[in-house]
Amino acid sequence: MNLHVTFKNCEPSDALRERLDQKLQKLGKYLREPVEAHIVLQVEKHRHRGDATIHSAGEILKTEVETDDMYVTVDQLMERIARAAKRQKDRRTGHHEGEADRADGFNEPS
């Protein structure tokens, strides 16, 4: 899992980098390897902005968040990516679920 973090108009922070890495590791169960994540964290006046782009085995997940605190921005950014990744995984695996039951083209009555 490759993580690239870009800081714009703010000081690079190892604590933010570690927090992003920990949250991204938790997303590993939803993403297929190889995973390439590019996170941009920037400060404009009092607004803290985060943009995330994650490439995972041909799938691209993008999101952006704007708040008043950088740590809240990181948390919300990773929550949104987690929801999108879970949704993608459910689409991938749920499509063929129960196909053996419907092999003849008929559904059994409930």
Residue 40, Cβ density class (10 Å: 0-12 exposed, 13-18 middle, ≥19 buried):
middle
**Tens-place pLDDT, residues 1-53:** 788 999 999 888 899 899 988 988 888 888 888 889 999 999 998 899 999 99
Tokens of 59: 């799938």
Residues 110 and 107: their CA atoms lie apart, in Å, by 9
Per the CATH hierarchy, to which homologous superfamily does domain 2-93 belong?
Ribosome hibernation promotion factor-like (3.30.160.100)
**Tens-place pLDDT, residues 42-86:** 999 889 999 999 998 888 999 999 999 999 999 999 999 999 888
Q: What is the pLDDT of residue 101?
A: 47
Nearest to 61 by CA among 24, 93, 98: 24
